[in-house]
Structure 1
Amino acid sequence: MSRRPLGQLEAEVLAALAGLGGSARTAELVERLDGNPAYTTVNTILHRLYEKKLVSRTRAGRHYLYRLAVDESELVAGRMREHLRHASDPGGVLNRFVRTLTDEEARQLRGFLDRPEDGR
């Protein structure tokens, strides 16, 4: 079964959850998201992410505590790969992307390219 691509809010919720480094209630995630999304909207997104097996949840009283169920770097890298796969000019996209990197990010990328077997 293949996963549907993540929507923007789904990606933001996952990033906020990853940034917390542990479990969080819906209300905690609402506070961390830009644009003041409604509690019910974030709750719906969390339910969808749970169904996609991207987050796990445990009951805590009347609420759930949500936790990432996947590796964030693998998830984001997969999204980047999917965007490249659908681009008519993947080389052009990569060129524009690397031109936006900070010096530190470019240094890290060079290191990864020099040692592709490292995996970190």
Structure 2
Amino acid sequence: MRGFGELEAAVMAQLWAAGEPVTVRQVHTALCGQRVLAYTTVLTVTDKLYRKGWLQREPQGRAHVYWPVTSREKYGAGLMREALTDSGDREQALLHFVGQMTLEEAAALRAALNSYERKISGH
């Protein structure tokens, strides 16, 4: 799993934020509030994301509606997993990662680990 390019990330952010299937026109309109983009550019990027398996789609009239296959959180977790796998020394990578956390993030990580340990131990 590799990270998205800049425009792919912008398209995915719009699709995740929508919370429901949307057309390329809707994504284009939302993105044009931030930068100037051709409709065909957004259409091409959306189609590429579909072909890569990141999006699902179905026909709606003369267009398609698109929605993400996975959540933003699962995508982020996949990137973290890849970074950890590629790090060479997982323990050191984790130590550096934790060393950059805020107290709130550390507490959330601790809670997630406790929940996971309870889950796999059957408690």
| TM-score, length of structure 1 as denominator length | 0.71
Instruction: Map 1:57-76 to 2 at 5 A.
Output: 57-76=57-76
Residue of structure 2 equivalent to 1:24: 22
Residue of structure 2 equivalent to 1:81: 81
Relative to structure 1, is the Cα distance of residues 24 and 89 closer, same or farther in structure 2, using a 3 angstrom cutoff? same
**SS at the partner of 2:20?**
coil
CA-CA distance at 1:47 after TM superposition: 0.8
**SS at the partner of 1:66?**
strand
Pairs aligned (count): 116
**SS at the partner of 2:116?**
coil
Q: Which amino acid aligns with 2:4?
A: G
Q: Which runs of 5+ in 1 are unaligned?
A: none
CA distances 1:21-41 after superposition (whole Å, capped 9, x unpaired):
111122322314885262322
Distance in structure 2 (CA, Å) of the matches to 1:111 and 1:34:
38
Judge conservation of contact 2:15–2:67 (CA < 8 Å) in 1: yes
Residue of structure 2 equivalent to 1:36: 35
1:112 aligns to 2:112 (yes or no) = yes
Residue of structure 1 equivalent to 2:11: 13
- Of the structure 1 ranges 6-15 and 95-104, higher mean CA displacement relative to structure 2 is found in 95-104
Relative to structure 1, is the Cα distance of residues 37 and 84 closer, same or farther in structure 2, using a 3 angstrom cutoff? farther
Judge conservation of contact 2:16–2:71 (CA < 8 Å) in 1: no
CA distances 1:26-72 after superposition (whole Å, capped 9, x unpaired):
23223148852623222222111111222111222232211112243
**SS at the partner of 2:22?**
coil
CA distances 1:58-100 after superposition (whole Å, capped 9, x unpaired):
2222322111122432222112211222235545544444344
Say which structure is richer in helix: 2
Distance in structure 2 (CA, Å) of the matches to 1:27 and 1:74:
26
Relative to structure 1, is the Cα distance of residues 106 and 42 closer, same or farther in structure 2, using a 3 angstrom cutoff? farther
Relative to structure 1, is the Cα distance of residues 91 and 16 closer, same or farther in structure 2, using a 3 angstrom cutoff? farther
Q: CA RMSD in A?
A: 2.9
- Structure possessing the higher radius of gyration over alpha carbons: 2
Distance in structure 2 (CA, Å) of the matches to 1:116 and 1:33:
41
Relative to structure 1, is the Cα distance of residues 105 and 57 closer, same or farther in structure 2, using a 3 angstrom cutoff? same
